[in-house]
Every structure is written in C-alpha cells, then in structure tokens.
Amino acid sequence: MSETEKTFGKKEKKLIASILFTMAGFLVAILENLLVPQFAIGVALEVYDLKIFGLNHNEAFRLILICLMAAYGLSGIFSFKSKKKAEEYIQKARFRFAMGIALGIWDYLGTKIKVLPQPFFPGPAEILTAFLSEGNYIFQNTLYSLRLYAGGFVGGVLLGVSTGILIGWFPKVKYWVEPVLKITGVIPAVAWMPFALTLFPTPYSAAVFLIVICAWFPIASLTKQGIESTPKSLFEASEILGSSTVYQVFHVAVPYAMPQIFTGISTANGFAFTTLVMAEMMGQPGGLGYYINASKVWSAYYKVFAAILVMAVLFSFITWLLNIVQRRVLRWQRGLIK
C-alpha cells in the first residue's frame, strides 16, 4: 500500500469517527428526553393535530433532534468528495457533539426538573409548543418581518452605495454631504422613530425608513473609502486607453472598492436586523418583534424563545446568502487572500 493510500485511509476513518461522534451527542439528547421521566409537575403533554399526524412537544423535540442527526450525517457523507470539506467537518465535530449534549442538559433542567427560573427559561421541548400550537401565526409574522427587512435593507444598500460613490468621486458632493453623513450616521436609528412616525403615513413606511437610515451610514462610509483608495495608476492606465469618466467610476473605482462595499453591507445587515426588531416592538401591526411583545405581556416566554429562534435562523440564512453573493462577486480574490 502506497503512502498516499495510507494517508487517505486515515483521513477517511477520522471522518467516519467524526460523523459518529457528532451523531452521538444528539443521540444522548434523544435518549434523555425519551427515558428520563417528567419530575416537575404541571407540564402537559397535549397532542397537537398537524393534519398528517399528531405530536406532543417531547415527540416534536425528538423529531428535530433526529432531523439534525440526519442532516449532519449526510453532510459528513458528502464531505468524502472534498478534502477541504472533510477537514472542516472533522474540525467542527466536537462543537456539534457539545451542541447535542447541551440540548439534552437544557431539556433536563428546563423541562424535566424545571430548576431554571420559570417561566423565563423554558426547556427546548416546551419552546416547540409555540410552533405546534400557532405555527401559522408565527409564519405570518415571519413573512411580515421579511417584507419589512427586504424593503429597508435593499433601499439602504442602494442609497448607501450611490452616496458613497458620489462622495468618493466628486469633491463638491463630498463637501456638502460628508458632514451630514458623519453627523446623522452616529445617531441610533431608533432615535428617529418619533419623527418617522410623524413624517410617514404608515408605521410600515416609517420602519422601512429607519432600516434604510441604519444601513445607509456604514455602506456609504466604506464605499467612499473604497473609491478614494483606488490607486491613481489604474485611472491613468484607463485614460491612456481612452476611457470616459463614467467608465472609470463603474469599471475601475467601483470594482476596486467592492471588498469595502461588501464589508459595509455585512455590517449594515446586523444593524438592519436589530433596527427591524426594535421597530416592530415599537408600533408595527405584525412581525417577530411584535410577536415577542405580545407574548411577553402574557408571560408566554416559550413563545418569546420561539421567535428568537426564528430570528437566529433568518439572520444566519440572510448572512449565508450575502456570503454567497460576496464570494461570487469577489471570486478574483481566491488564492490572493487568506
């Protein structure tokens, strides 16, 4: 057997061990939920009709754990095709194992014996009750949040990039606009709430304005820096080739500034999501922030955690999409940076 085959065999075995190690953590959580009795009183095992079949919250929790096991198991199997993916999977195996164990411990402390302060820290199985009892309502509020976020964030990106290009390229625009950007940019977007509700006809348009404002500052600032940092040699070379001003802006300065622009967009994404939730908690007729506020009034903190879980998944998904776009646009950086 050659040295290469021996090395591959070792890595293959290590990947299989990582897959089994990952799944073991979630298996422990499943066995904990299934075998440990319910010590704390007052926990109802109501069966919720999901049209196809019925589930109580413990069965739903175990189903989620099984789905996670299957997802990570398939991910590990597909990693055999790529050396890089296999290494990444092996590296993260300990974290996934710990995540499964943590879910089991949380379920034991928060649901089985309820030693955590109640009702503020329900167990994961109880949090799933919110999805089982009013999943459609949570979905409607999620769609409202997405619509509000999309309108505000897209508007903020367009306004921020265009403002940054104008400030970075035209000195006269920079003279008048940059002071306004520096003064208004440091003010939290929520501070504009009273003015937004007065100036705009609906709470929805006011919230969109707040998200646009909070996204505008970091994107415009970093776009400006990217435009201004473009080497003069690139402009001189384009002038020799007979390029116009418009060509220099959109084919020289903007491509060079793309890394800074995407840094600004990534920063603005976090600000926009925070502003979205705060705006929904302060006057919107729907959305995840509104759902949290309404649930908190009735001390239904398991619903609050359910909304937070949806927010975490949404934010991670949006960040993942932005990273895909960034890698696609900045594909020329592959092999040049770490």
Model confidence band, residue 156 (pLDDT cutoffs 50, 70, 90): very high
Q: How far apart are CA 183 and CA 189, in angstroms?
A: 13
Q: What are phi and psi of 214, to 5 degrees?
A: -70, -30
Considering only residues 97 and 332, tell me which one the structure prediction assigns the higher pLDDT: 97
Q: What is the mean pLDDT of residues 218-239?
A: 90
Domain ranges of the chain: 3-116, 135-333
- Whole-number pLDDT of residue 320: 93
Q: How far apart are CA 256 and CA 132, in angstroms?
A: 49
pTM of the model: 0.86
- Whole-number pLDDT of residue 4: 47
Look-up: residue for tokens 């413990």? 58
Give the 3-state DSSP-derived string for the chain, with helices as H, strands as E and coil as C: CCHHHHHHHHHHHHHHHHHHHHHHHHHHHHHHHHHCCCCCCCCCCCCEECCCCEECHHHHHHHHHHHHHHHHHHHHHHHHHCHHHHHHHHHCHHHHHHHHHHHHHHHHHHHHCCCCCCCCCCCHHHHHHHHHHHHHHHHHHHHHHHHHHHHHHHHHHHHHHHHHHHHHHCHHHHHHHHHHHHHHHCCCHHHHHHHHHHHCCCHHHHHHHHHHHHHHHHHHHHHHHHHHCCCHHHHHHHHHCCCCHHHHHHHHHHHHHHHHHHHHHHHHHHHHHHHHHHHHHCCCCCCHHHHHHHHHHCCCHHHHHHHHHHHHHHHHHHHHHHHHHHHHHCHHHCCCCC
Q: How far apart are CA 242 and CA 321, in angstroms?
A: 38
Nearest partner of 287 among 151, 139, 129, judged by Cα: 139
- Say if residue 45's pLDDT is above 80: no
Q: How far apart are CA 27 and CA 22, in angstroms?
A: 9
Do residues 28 and 68 make contact, with C-beta atoms less than 8 angstroms apart? no
In this structure, is the dihedral angle defined by the CA atoms of residues 167, 171, 173 and 176, taken in order, positive or negative? positive
Lowest mean pLDDT among 26-35, 216-225, 233-242, 327-336: 327-336
Per-chain mean pLDDT for the chain: 89
Which distant-in-sequence residues (6+ apart) come within 8 Å of 252 by Cβ?
Answer: 230, 234, 235, 238, 243
Considering only residues 81 and 50, tell me which one the structure prediction assigns the higher pLDDT: 81
Which residues on neighbouring strands pair with residue 48, listed in sequence order?
55
Task: Give tens-digit pLDDT for 269-297.
Answer: 999 998 998 888 877 888 999 999 999 88
Q: What is the mean pLDDT of residues 6-35?
A: 87
Q: How far apart are CA 139 and CA 145, in angstroms?
A: 10
- Virtual torsion, Cα 162, 227, 323, 97, nearest 10 deg: -130
**CATH class of the 135-333 domain in this structure:** mainly alpha
Q: How far apart are CA 125 and CA 122, in angstroms?
A: 8
Task: Give tens-digit pLDDT for 110-146.
Answer: 989 989 888 888 999 999 999 999 999 999 999 999 9
- Say if residue 223's pLDDT is above 60: yes
Task: Give tens-digit pLDDT for 88-115.
Answer: 999 999 999 999 999 999 999 998 998 9
